[in-house]
Structure 1
Amino acid sequence: MGPLAGIKVLDMTSVLMGPFASQALGDMGADVIKIEAPQGDLVRQIGPVRNEGMGPVFLNANRNKRSIVLDLKQPDGLAALRRLIADADVLMYNVRPQAMARLGLGYEEVAAINPLIVYAGLFGFGQDGPYAARPAYDDLIQGGATLPHLIARASGGIPRYVPTALADRIVGQTAVGGILASLLARQRTGRGDRVDVPMFETMVAFVLGDHLGGLTFEPPLDEGGYARQLSPERRPYRTSDGHICALVYNDKHWKSFLGAVGREALMQDARFATYAGRSRNIDHVYGELAAIFEQRSTAEWSAILERADVPFMPMHDLRSVLDDPHLQATGFFSTIDHPSEGPIRTMRMPMTWQHSRPDAARVAPRQGEHTREVLQQAGYAAEEIDALLAAGTAAQAPPHAAA
C-alpha cells in the first residue's frame, strides 16, 4: 500500500501534463480514475503501436489508473461524473477553466457537491492576467519561458525547443506538490480547496531561477543569463573514441583532476585558480578541458575520473541507457506482460519509502476498460449501466484476446 492509499482521484486530464501528474499520484497508491471522452485521449495515437490507441507515450504516462468513458456533452454523462465527484478526494483537469465553467463544473459547482474535494487545474496561464483564456502547449510555454532564446544564445545557432516535453512534465510535477499540499491542509482545516497550476508562470520561475542573473538587481548589473550554462563549450567532451560527460566544478575537483593529468601548473593561472576566476573565463576554461579530453579514450577517462572522484557520466543514447549498469542493478527498467499489448518495457517510480510500499503497478488501461466497474462502485445498477452504454453516454473497451 502506497502513501496515498485510500485517496480517490478523478483525472479529467489528457495528453501529457495532467496524465504525468496523475500517474505520479497513482504510483503513490491513489485510486486514479481516468475520465475519457468518447474519442479518447489524443496521446493514445502517438508513436508505434501494436493495437490502436495504445501508443508508447500513453503507456508511459497512464499506469496505475482505471479508464472510464463518459460523454460529458450528454446530461446523463455529466450526472455520472457528478456522482463520482461526491466521494472523490481530488479532481484534476487541464482544459481551460472557461471550458469547465461551461460544463457546470467550475470550482463552486464542484465544491457544492463535495466541499472536501481538492480541485486542481493545470492550464496555460494564471487567471488574473490577459492571457487567461489562451490555449497553451509545451512548445509555446518553452518559448515564452525563454528556453529557445537561451539555446540559441548558448550555441550561436537558431532557437530550438528542448527535445522533450519539458514544460508539461515540470508543471505536472509541480501540480503533484500542490495537490499533496492541499490534501495536507484539508487534514488540518477540514475543507477542500482549489489549486491553479499555470504553465507559463511555473516555467518562467523555473528557468529564471538560473538565468535572471544581473536583472535581479535594480538597476540591472548585466543582461541576465548564467554564464556557465550558456557557454558554447558546455557540452559533452569528445574523447579519442567517443564522448563523456564530466563536470570539473569546485576547487577540490580541479586540484584532483589536474593532478591526475599532470597539469597542476594550471592552478597557478588566475583563470583556473578559483571558482570566481573560472566563472569569469568559462569559455576559455571549458575550451582547455575539451582539448585535454580529446587525448584519451572514453574508457581511460572513466577510470581516471573515478579514481580522482571527479563527477562524470556516460553520454547515453536511447538504446545504451537501457543497459546502464546502475539502472539494471536498481531494477529501474523491467519487462512486463500487458494483457492486450504483450511484453512491454516499463520504468519504475524513482522514489522509494521505508514503510509505505506501493503495490505492483497497474498497467495502462485500454479506453473504457473499467467503465462498468467504476459505475458499479458509484452505485449504478447493471441495467442502468446497460442503458448508458446503449445510448453512447458511456462506453467500454471491447473484449480482447490475450496478446
Structure 2
Amino acid sequence: MTGPLDGVRIIDLTAMISGPLATMMLADQGAEVIKVENPAGGDFTRSAANRQGGMSALFLNNNRNKKSVALNLKEPEGREALLKLVATADVFVQNFRPGVIARMGLGEEELRKVAPGLIMVSVSGFGDSGPYAQRPVYDPLIQGLSGLATVQAGADGRRPQLVRTILPDKLTGVTAAQAITAALFARERTGEGQHIRLSMLDAIVAFLWSSDMGSQTFVHGDLPQQEAASFQDLIYETTTGYITIAVQNDREWQAIIRALERPEWAGDARFRTAELRQQNIDARLELIQSVIRTDSAEHWLARLEQERVPCAPVLTRAQMLDHPQVRANDLLLNYQHPQAGLIRQSRAPSRFSAAPDHDWQGAPTLGQHTRALLTNCGYSPEEIQDMIDSGTAGG
C-alpha cells in the first residue's frame, strides 16, 4: 500500500475496538500493521454476531488492510517470535490491563533491547494506577464514570443516558492514532522512541471538556452545576418523517420566520435577541414544531433551503447510504472479500492529495500471514510447521 505512513511497521497486540480501530486508521494511511493474535480463536470480535462467510462485520470493519500472525504468547517460542517481529518494527501497540504485558515478559525494557527506537503504546480502560486500574472495562462504564452519561441526559438532575454508540472505545482509537503519528514525527526529529500511555477515561474527559464542562472550568467561581437550557432536541416531526433545523444567529432567525411564514414572531419580545431566544428556548422550539408538523419533510426542506436556514433530513442508516451528499463524497465503497463476499465499508475520512486511492485488503483470516512473516524473520518452513503443530503458532 502507498500512503503517508508507507514504510512504517506496526505490531498490533490489541483486541476489541479501541486499539484495532486506531491501527486500522494507520493501515488505511499506508502503515504495515501486523495483528498478533492467539491461535485459539484470535480477537474476540472475530466471533461476534452479524456474520457472512465466517467473518463478522465487527471484525471486518476494524481490521482491514492488516496482516495476521497467530502466536501463543504464553509459550517461550511464541514470545521469541514476537520479539523478532518487534525488532523490525517502528510501533508496538497493546491494550491489555496495566501490568499484564510486563508479566508476559514483553514490557518496555524487553522490547527496547531488540528495538531501541520503538514507539510503545499502552491503551487502558481507567488508567495505569488508581483504584479502578485493574478493573475490567467496557464502554458503558467509561460513559458513566466520565460524566458523559449525565451530559447525554441533558442535566445533572435527570436520569443519566448512554450514548447509543460506543463513543469512548472509538474516540480512544482516534486519539491513539493521532498520538502515534505525533510520536513518529517526533522520532524523525530526535531519533528517539517513547512510550505513549492512554486511557479511555482520559480520552473522554478531555473530549467533554471543550464544550460540556463550562460549570467546572473556573476553579474558584461560584457557578451553578450544569443545567439544560431545554430538554427538547432539534429534531422536528413532519408528515413524512423527521428533519433537523439549527438556528443560531439573528440572520437565521429572520430566515426561519420567512420560511415558515410567521411574521408575527419577529415582533415577539421573547425572541428579539439571541440571548432571549436561548432563555425562551422551549417556547421557541414548540412554536417551530407546531408549524413543521403540518407539512412534509420535502416541503419544509425546500422552503428552509430557499431561505438559507441550516437544515437536513434525519435519515435511517439504510437511507443514509443513498443520500446524494454521501454519494458525492464517494464515502462508501464496495469490494470483494475472499471469505465474506461483497462487502460495503466507509473509506478513510481523510484524503491525501499525494496518496491516490488504492485497493483495500480485507480483514485477514486468523494467522493468514504467519508463515510469510516468520519466514522473513529467519524461521525455516520446518520450524514454522513445528510451531503450528505444537499450538505455538497458527496459520
TM-score, normalised on structure 1?
Answer: 0.92
Q: Secondary structure at the match of 2:10?
A: strand
- Offset of residue 360 of structure 1: 1.5
Alignment partner, residue 104 of structure 1: 105
Q: How does 1:341-356 map to 2 (within 5 A)?
A: 341-356=340-355
Q: Please, which moves more after superposition, 75-84 or 347-356?
A: 347-356
Alignment partner, residue 172 of structure 1: 173
Alignment partner, residue 270 of structure 2: 271
- Offset of residue 280 of structure 1: 2.3
Number of matched residues? 392
Identity of aligned residues (%): 39
Indicate the RMSD between aligned Cα atoms, in angstroms: 1.8
Q: Separation in 2 of the partners of 1:137 and 1:358? A: 35
- 1:326 equivalent to 2:325? Answer yes
* Residues 271 and 377 (structure 1), Cα distance of their counterparts in 2 relative to 1, 3 Å cut: farther
Q: Separation in 2 of the partners of 1:195 and 1:261? A: 53
> CA contact under 8 A between 1:156 and 1:232: conserved in structure 2?
no
Return the letter of the residue paired with 1:5: D
> CA contact under 8 A between 1:29 and 1:358: conserved in structure 2?
no
Q: Please, which moves more after superposition, 142-151 or 189-198?
A: 142-151
C-alpha distance after superposition, 1:217-243 (max 9, x if no partner): 223311125x45xx2211410112211
C-alpha distance after superposition, 1:154-187 (max 9, x if no partner): 6997433211111100011011111111001101
- Offset of residue 341 of structure 1: 1.4
Q: Secondary structure at the match of 1:182?
A: helix
- Offset of residue 130 of structure 1: 3.3
- Offset of residue 82 of structure 1: 0.3
Q: Please, which moves more after superposition, 249-258 or 295-304?
A: 249-258
Q: Secondary structure at the match of 2:51?
A: coil
> CA contact under 8 A between 2:155 and 2:226: conserved in structure 1?
no
Q: Separation in 1 of the partners of 2:138 and 2:198? A: 14
C-alpha distance after superposition, 1:189-222 (max 9, x if no partner): 1110000111112112212332222232223311
Q: Separation in 1 of the partners of 2:107 and 2:279? A: 52
Q: How does 1:17-166 map to 2 (within 5 A)?
A: 17-38=18-39, 39-52=41-54, 54-153=55-154, 158-166=159-167
Q: Separation in 2 of the partners of 1:93 and 1:302? A: 47
Q: Secondary structure at the match of 1:34?
A: strand
TM-score, normalised on structure 2?
Answer: 0.94
C-alpha distance after superposition, 1:123-158 (max 9, x if no partner): 112325333333321111011122222333469974
Alignment partner, residue 282 of structure 1: 281
* Residues 238 and 156 (structure 1), Cα distance of their counterparts in 2 relative to 1, 3 Å cut: farther
- Offset of residue 247 of structure 1: 0.9
> CA contact under 8 A between 1:214 and 1:223: conserved in structure 2?
yes
Q: Separation in 1 of the partners of 2:58 and 2:295? A: 39
Return the letter of the residue paired with 1:324: H
* Residues 376 and 317 (structure 1), Cα distance of their counterparts in 2 relative to 1, 3 Å cut: same
Q: Separation in 1 of the partners of 2:97 and 2:129? A: 13
Return the letter of the residue paired with 2:127: G
Q: Secondary structure at the match of 1:97?
A: coil
* Residues 156 and 56 (structure 1), Cα distance of their counterparts in 2 relative to 1, 3 Å cut: farther
> CA contact under 8 A between 1:97 and 1:106: conserved in structure 2?
no
C-alpha distance after superposition, 1:329-358 (max 9, x if no partner): 222222211111111112211111111225
Q: Separation in 1 of the partners of 2:299 and 2:158? A: 32
Q: Separation in 2 of the partners of 1:292 and 1:153? A: 25
Q: Separation in 1 of the partners of 2:216 and 2:327? A: 44
Q: How does 1:274-313 map to 2 (within 5 A)?
A: 274-313=273-312
* Residues 154 and 290 (structure 1), Cα distance of their counterparts in 2 relative to 1, 3 Å cut: farther
> CA contact under 8 A between 2:333 and 2:346: conserved in structure 1?
yes
Q: Separation in 2 of the partners of 1:274 and 1:360? A: 53
Alignment partner, residue 399 of structure 1: none
- Offset of residue 9 of structure 1: 0.6
Q: Separation in 2 of the partners of 1:236 and 1:224? A: 22
Return the letter of the residue paired with 2:237: R
- Offset of residue 98 of structure 1: 0.7
Q: Secondary structure at the match of 1:319?
A: helix
Return the letter of the residue paired with 2:194: D
* Residues 267 and 108 (structure 1), Cα distance of their counterparts in 2 relative to 1, 3 Å cut: farther
- 1:194 equivalent to 2:195? Answer yes
Return the letter of the residue paired with 2:297: T
> CA contact under 8 A between 1:15 and 1:41: conserved in structure 2?
yes
- Offset of residue 7 of structure 1: 0.4
> CA contact under 8 A between 1:29 and 1:359: conserved in structure 2?
no
| Structure 1 unaligned blocks of 5 or more | 397-403
Q: Separation in 1 of the partners of 2:157 and 2:175? A: 32
Q: How does 1:227-266 map to 2 (within 5 A)?
A: 227-228=228-229, 231-266=230-265
* Residues 295 and 154 (structure 1), Cα distance of their counterparts in 2 relative to 1, 3 Å cut: farther
- Offset of residue 116 of structure 1: 1.0
| Structure 2 unaligned blocks of 5 or more | none
C-alpha distance after superposition, 1:302-328 (max 9, x if no partner): 111211122222111121111111112
